[in-house]
């Protein structure tokens, strides 16, 4: 552990992944993470290509305004920091969001994935949320993006005794690999036993 972070290879991981309880409660938040914010989801060049590839399979699930935005400006753009992100529409929605009865917002790509229409789940930045990954010249930072819209997820996580690193097991393995995740689990368990348990 270095300066309040777990050091795993060339990554520095926030202690929040061990300290915070978290379990998405979409019935309470209605999928706010696909709606709120001033920019779309960060994506890689490879994911940009995948978004264009799956677009025909999810097209009919997209909002009409999102369809127009994509037709006019494409699936992605660059934010003020020069990072490629998905387009947003109506000043809020990711263009790949769609709505279920009752106002629940979900990812159209993930919906298609669960229905067997596409083989790709969604961009890794979305899959990892509320964890954000940022690359620096000599290391990669892994931090919890704590936000009021996820308060219900923190409450549910505490009730279910699910910590953030446990909730994000699958996306963390997809992003960093099984060996990396195993080391994270060891670090978290030791930290919890040493500092958090009575």
CA 82 to chain centre: 19
Q: Shortest CA distance to 51 belongs to which of 132, 120, 128, 133?
A: 120
> Is the domain of 116 the same as that of 187?
no
> Is the domain of 176 the same as that of 112?
no
Q: What does pTM read for this prediction?
A: 0.93
CA distance 174 to 170: 6
> Is the domain of 37 the same as that of 3?
no
> Which pLDDT does position 147 carry in this prediction?
84
> In the chain, which residues have pLDDT < 50?
none
> Is the domain of 48 the same as that of 113?
yes
Q: How far is CA 197 from CA 18, 19, 164, 191, in A?
A: 12, 11, 16, 9
The one-character DSSP state at 26 is H
Helices (H), the chain: 16-19, 26-29, 45-58, 64-73, 108-114, 124-128, 151-160, 164-167, 169-176, 178-191
> Is the domain of 73 the same as that of 56?
yes
Give tens-digit pLDDT for 121-130. Answer: 999 999 999 9
Domain count, the chain: 2
For residue 170, give its domain range. Answer: 1-22+130-198
> Is the domain of 72 the same as that of 158?
no
> Is the domain of 153 the same as that of 109?
no
> Which pLDDT does position 198 carry in this prediction?
62
């Amino acid at each position: 552990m270095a300066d309040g972070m777990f050091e795993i290879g060339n990554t520095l991981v926030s202690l929040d992944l061990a300290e915070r309880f978290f379990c998405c409660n979409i019935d309470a938040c209605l999928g706010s993470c696909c709606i709120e914010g001033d920019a779309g989801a960060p994506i890689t060049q490879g994911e940009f290509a995948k978004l264009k590839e799956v677009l025909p399979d999810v097209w009919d699930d997209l909002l009409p305004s999102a369809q127009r935005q994509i037709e006019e400006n494409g699936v992605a753009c660059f934010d003020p920091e020069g990072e490629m992100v998905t387009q947003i529409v109506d000043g809020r929605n990711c263009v790949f969001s769609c709505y279920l009865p009752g106002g629940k917002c979900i990812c159209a790509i993930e919906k298609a994935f669960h229905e067997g229409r596409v083989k790709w789940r969604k961009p890794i930045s979305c899959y990892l949320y509320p964890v954000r990954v940022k690359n620096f010249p000599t290391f990669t930072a892994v931090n919890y993006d704590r936000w009021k819209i996820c308060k219900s997820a923190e409450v549910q996580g505490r009730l279910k005794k699910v910590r953030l690193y446990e909730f994000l097991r699958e996306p963390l393995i997809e992003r960093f690999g099984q060996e990396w995740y195993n080391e994270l689990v060891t670090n978290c368990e030791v930290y919890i036993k040493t500092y958090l348990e009575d």
